[in-house]
Amino acid sequence: MAFLLESAWLYLVTHFSDFQLASLGSFFLHESVFFLSGLPFIYLERAGFLSKYKIQTKNNTPAAQEKCITRLFLYHFGVNLPVMILSYPVFRSMGMRSSLPLPSWKVIVTQILFYFILEDFVFYWGHRVLHTKWLYKHVHSVHHEYATPFGLTSEYAHPAEILFLGFATIVGPAITGPHLLTLWLWMVLRVLETVEAHCGYHFPWSFSNLFPLYGGADFHDYHHRLLYTKSGNYSSTFIYMDRIFGTDKGYRKLKALKSSGAEAGDKQMQ
């Protein structure tokens, strides 16, 4: 496996420059993973498949979904791509490299775990600030146009928010200066996580059922349903920041009520 990966990487670094891989390559990888993971949820919602796992009964109209996709292409090519191109010199100066040898899996896993922890901390405070009255009205309300989120709405946001919260994603790699392979893996995991959090479905195999501190779709869907002043659930991947600062009290109370109601129903059936 390691030999195949190194052979594939050798082909990339032989045929493309560092700049092409770090900017255009990163953009292509992001777009591929984002749309391939997010588009199926549009199909599920339209077809009504797996509806028993859908968190909200309300569906988005095809027009609303198409508006989201159109705006995403505009934001990605108008904001994301220029940022990836302009940030290349910064990452190079911070130590990012694409040459062989590839980093060990121990190094990759350690760095990505650090990125997740740091991203959660930075994202929580940035997201919480966006829910103040002025910033919500003029910036963050764009993301909340979809009270019933689906996978692709994860990156539907005001350009200012894309830049503002995007800092939480890149601050870890900027500090550590990782290998480009590590940066790509981090980007893929982060995209898959945020698409899952906005997918609108809570499956039996969802990560939140396996890892208690993982947020997931059920946790973030609650955030989209409530008014901005009462939403809470500001965390990104893991929920430790909301737990520490008590901004998930409403969500936990709702879960407790549902649990007690389900238990009462089971007792009546016995």
Domain ranges, ordered by start, for the chain: 2-201
What pLDDT score was predicted for residue 270?
Answer: 43
What pLDDT score was predicted for residue 261?
Answer: 61
* Residues 174, 95 contacting (CB under 8 angstroms): no
The alpha-helical segments, DSSP class H, found in 105-238 are: 105-130, 133-138, 159-176, 180-197, 207-210, 216-225
What pLDDT score was predicted for residue 229?
Answer: 64
User: 259 or 220, which is more confident?
Assistant: 220
- Reported as a pLDDT band with limits 50, 70 and 90, residue 225 is confident
pLDDT tens, position by position, 94-143: 899 999 999 999 999 999 999 999 999 999 999 999 999 999 999 999 99
What pLDDT score was predicted for residue 132?
Answer: 93
pLDDT tens, position by position, 16-63: 999 999 999 999 999 999 999 999 999 999 999 999 999 999 999 999
The Cα–Cα gap between 70 and 75 comes to 9
Average pLDDT, the chain: 92
Tokens at 17, concatenated: 């420059």
Report the predicted TM-score, pTM, of the whole model to 2 decimal places.
0.93
